[in-house]
Amino acid sequence: MLTFTRNNPHPLRSNTNRNSMENQSKNTIITQNVWVLLLVSLFTDVASEMLYPIMPVYLKSIGFLLY
């Protein structure tokens, strides 16, 4: 008789191989997500730092009055 449990919802599959593969893939996905977020944050910071000094020049060229 096949019994379904919370730890092994598919009794015909091996539970040990599946768990080790899931743990390895979860660690890899988290690492990739962290690296992507790190790079996006870095590029956003660099872009804002590059635009901040030239903002007054741009505002003056479009007619915005700076007092």
At 65, is the pLDDT very low, low, confident or very high (cuts 50, 70, 90)? confident
58, with CB counted inside 10 A (0-12, 13-18, 19+), is exposed
Residues 11 and 3 sit within 8 Å (Cβ to Cβ): yes
Model confidence over 5-53: pLDDT tens digits?
Answer: 666 666 566 555 556 666 666 666 778 889 999 999 999 999 999 999 9
Given this model, what pLDDT does residue 46 score? 97
63 conformational bin, left if phi > 0, alpha if psi -120 to 50, beta if neither: left
Written as one letter, the residue type at 51 is L
In the chain, alpha helices (H): 15-51, 55-61
Return the higher-pLDDT residue of 44 and 4.
44
Model confidence over 49-63: pLDDT tens digits?
Answer: 999 999 989 998 999
Read off the DSSP letter of residue 54.
Answer: T
